Structure 1
Amino acid sequence: MFRTYEWAEVPLVPFLGETFRTWMCVEYDVGLGWFNVLVEERNGKRRFPLILMVVGERALCSLLAQQSKTLVVRSVQFVSSGTINQSGHHRMEQLVKIELLSEHGLEGLLYEVENGTTYFVGDTNLQAFNGAYREVIFDTSMCLGSP
């Protein structure tokens, strides 16, 4: 989850009864990944694009399941830490697929990004490419607003 501090809150006057709050910054553990999700609110012919910073595959799947005529996911980018992508710095890349891998009680996640690169996060004893059960939990076809 992202963490916020009271000193970072931006005081706003509520607009038409809105109850949201805003912050100048949020904090997140740099060793983990997260998702930069482009959603679009739709009202008739009007389109309102918004970026959501989503932590965790469950939250991403929940957001995808909540798509409707008025709210669609257009695209998802995976923000990987330097530990995950082994580059020493964060990368934001277009996400193509996430697979949940499991074998003999071991679990892991395999992220595939646009250029075909894959990142594995999970139990290092799991043989990710040798017979593990694989379940696709995200692919781009799940983005109902994709071009």
Structure 2
Amino acid sequence: MFISDESCLVGFPGFPGPGRTAWRMVERDSEELWYHVRLRIREGEGSRSKKCMPADSAVLAHLLSQQSPDNTIEEVQVVTAPCMNGSNSDRMEKLVSLVIGYDQSGECVLIHKVAGGAVYSSAHNSLDAGSLIDARTIYEDA
């Protein structure tokens, strides 16, 4: 989840459009991963790019389900914390695939494969996609 303080609100409620607000800063307290998605939105003869930051795989899956000829996903990146990626800092890497399934105890597990070849598992005991029950692919880079 992303959080923001009211002091970071830009302008007034409704800016930049109905039902929307603009913020100068958002925060994350969690060590959970999140996503950075670049969309291409066609409007008449032209198009524009839009970037979204889904806080979890459910929101990412919803964004992916909204694709149409006028609304396409150009790139998905995953942002992992040091405890997941084994480094000293967060990493943003191009996502190649995302598989969701369940381990032997029924816990939901996410398997992320990134362009650099690394595979990140939300399970504490590094499961691979082949060992999951009811595994299904949520995202696969075309």
Report the TM-score, using the length of structure 2 for normalisation. 0.86
- What residue number does 2:54 align with? 54
Aligned residue pairs: how many? 140
Question: What's the CA shift for 1:122?
Answer: 2.2
Consecutive unaligned residues in structure 1, runs of 5 or more: 142-147
- What residue number does 1:145 align with? none
Question: What's the CA shift for 1:130?
Answer: 6.3
Is the alpha carbon distance of 1:128 and 1:101 closer, same or farther for their aligned partners in structure 2, counting shifts above 3 Å? farther
Aligned residue runs from structure 1 range 5-84, under 5 A: 5-11=5-11, 18-84=18-84
Partner amino acid, structure 1, of 2:23:
W
Report the TM-score, using the length of structure 1 for normalisation. 0.83
Structure 1 segments of 4+ aligned residues over 4 angstroms from their partners: 12-17
**Residues 7-51 of structure 1: CA distance to partner in whole angstroms, max 9, x if unpaired?**
000005967964421000001124111100001111122111011
Partner amino acid, structure 1, of 2:80:
S
Alignment partners' CA distance in 1, 2:86 and 2:26: 24
Is the alpha carbon distance of 1:103 and 1:43 closer, same or farther for their aligned partners in structure 2, counting shifts above 3 Å? same
**Residues 86-106 of structure 1: CA distance to partner in whole angstroms, max 9, x if unpaired?**
102011100000112323223
Root mean square deviation, CA, Å: 2.3
Alignment partners' CA distance in 2, 1:138 and 1:82: 23
Question: What's the CA shift for 1:81?
Answer: 0.8
Whether the 8 Å CA contact 1:30–1:81 is kept in 2: the answer is no
Whether the 8 Å CA contact 1:99–1:111 is kept in 2: the answer is yes
Alignment partners' CA distance in 1, 2:13 and 2:58: 33
Is the alpha carbon distance of 1:118 and 1:49 closer, same or farther for their aligned partners in structure 2, counting shifts above 3 Å? same
Alignment partners' CA distance in 2, 1:20 and 1:52: 14
Percent of residue pairs bearing the same amino acid type: 26
Partner amino acid, structure 1, of 2:101:
L
Partner amino acid, structure 1, of 2:122:
V
Is the alpha carbon distance of 1:20 and 1:4 closer, same or farther for their aligned partners in structure 2, counting shifts above 3 Å? same
- What residue number does 1:136 align with? 137
